[in-house]
Structure 1
């Protein structure tokens, strides 16, 4: 150690610090200097913020990292991206890659595998790339439609402000408040009525059961009545009444002659007139018909 002067020791420490800093920066960027992954080249026309050390995913799992990005100045619009992918990953022939950006601005590459189990892309070969705008792209596509809607929204807001400034709206809201209060009162009264019905319904049911019992008893009594015999008696009575009516309407018998012979009516009228004349004469000359004297003398 005596051969190393103070300046040499300082130089060695500085070199060691630079080396550690270099490897540390690579590690922080996600680059593994001692990696044994396979290298592939992906062609893009727009990388949309893709940088070195951006991750590469397959089915949501990180399988690699972007190692280098080069712009092709001879063929403008072509961007060559070198990616390092785990050597255990087999990429089928016809697969592609896409750049995806999330809402937070993070950019990554997604591998899109084809269904080709027989052929695969060899390390060092090129993969066709594209861009998936994702949620931000959908929002960007919606911007023109939103711009067209802004005048209509402004008109709608103006109409809403005019409506809110109308005094009739305030009156309507006041009426709604009054109606709500009335509904509250009605609901409370309805609850009281329902409670009363709950108390009265059992008694009503009991009385209804009693009425049903009486009805059943009456039905049983009616079923015991000899309806056929009663109807026979009624029919016999009706026959007697019919025979009596026929006799009264005929010229046979005393009642028939009395009702249908006019001479009897005339004789009765003559008799009544004679009786009436007799009564009048009796009232005018009672002494002719009653003889009474103390000495037995007869008036003439």
Structure 2
């Protein structure tokens, strides 16, 4: 009898220990640390959509507690009381409030906004004002979905227009023209490649030859004594200037020949008389030449 009692007690103790470990493990997985002391406060909300036990409570993005319990306030219909457990070291100033938020990754959570401008604090067990913020999904359903509903009919019209455009014969003709143009461009590109490969090197060679010739000419020009040449030209110009002055000077022979009007008239008269004499000699030679045989 004693042996049976010992076996039953052992089984009971093992079962109790297993249940305690399971309970602690489940709470730990939910983020509830039963061995960490906490201060409990209450928050009154009109809607706790997606908020659950063990949902996090954040301050400036840092987790400072969790939701311990959610109860409907039957004495005040339309209100839900949420119990939260905060770290022992956190002091909540009066005038602080909790904002219910949600996102796609973490789900619903409470964002505690501390009123750091006052020096008084809430007592443990006080009720903190709650505010339901517009979450991402709520914003999606209230703002974006109506716009999408307005866009869908237009999108259908656009798709129908695109389908008509795609099936239009002119589009096929345009595509054929584009294909032909592309083929011509490829042909022109091949010709240009041939030009670049064959003619351009020859042209470059000719340019190199011309450049060499210019270099030779430039060298020859550098070898020319331009100072001596210019000096000779200056001497020639001075001589011509002196000749011109002598021709214009009426005191010398050349000047007299060019500038004396009387001499010019005599020479002109002499030339005229000589011309008449030659003409008369040509017409009547017997007048000037006599032949005598005896």
Residues 1-21 of structure 1: CA deviation (Å, up to 9, x unaligned): 539679x77995898499546
CA distance in 2, matches of 1:202, 1:129: 88
Paired position in structure 2 for 1:135: 136
Decide which moves more: 165-174 or 113-122: 113-122
Q: How far 1:174 moved relative to its partner?
A: 3.0
CA distance in 2, matches of 1:256, 1:231: 38
CA distance in 2, matches of 1:251, 1:185: 85
Decide which moves more: 201-210 or 58-67: 201-210
CA distance in 2, matches of 1:114, 1:210: 91
Q: Is the Cα–Cα contact under 8 Å of residues 97 and 128 in structure 1 kept in the other structure?
A: yes
The change in CA–CA distance for 1:113 and 1:192 in structure 2 (over 3 A counts) is: farther
Paired position in structure 2 for 1:251: 261
CA distance in 1, matches of 2:265, 2:231: 34
Paired position in structure 2 for 1:224: 227
Paired position in structure 1 for 2:160: 158
Q: Which runs of 5+ in 2 are unaligned?
A: 248-253
The change in CA–CA distance for 1:95 and 1:177 in structure 2 (over 3 A counts) is: farther
The change in CA–CA distance for 1:211 and 1:29 in structure 2 (over 3 A counts) is: closer
Decide which moves more: 226-235 or 24-33: 24-33
Secondary structure, in 3 states, of the residue corresponding to 2:83? strand
Q: Is the Cα–Cα contact under 8 Å of residues 249 and 256 in structure 1 kept in the other structure?
A: no
Answering whether residue 289 of structure 2 is matched by residue 272 of structure 1, we say: no
Q: How far 1:44 moved relative to its partner?
A: 1.4
Q: How far 1:41 moved relative to its partner?
A: 0.8
TM-score by length of 1: 0.71
Q: How far 1:145 moved relative to its partner?
A: 2.4
Secondary structure, in 3 states, of the residue corresponding to 2:40? strand
CA distance in 2, matches of 1:84, 1:181: 76
The change in CA–CA distance for 1:207 and 1:115 in structure 2 (over 3 A counts) is: farther
Paired position in structure 2 for 1:70: 71
The change in CA–CA distance for 1:125 and 1:222 in structure 2 (over 3 A counts) is: farther
TM-score by length of 2: 0.72
Answering whether residue 211 of structure 2 is matched by residue 208 of structure 1, we say: yes
The change in CA–CA distance for 1:117 and 1:182 in structure 2 (over 3 A counts) is: farther
CA distance in 2, matches of 1:22, 1:67: 15
Residues 228-285 of structure 1: CA deviation (Å, up to 9, x unaligned): 44234235336646826984575354x7644x43x74255235324323439xx9xxx
- The total of aligned residue pairs comes to 282
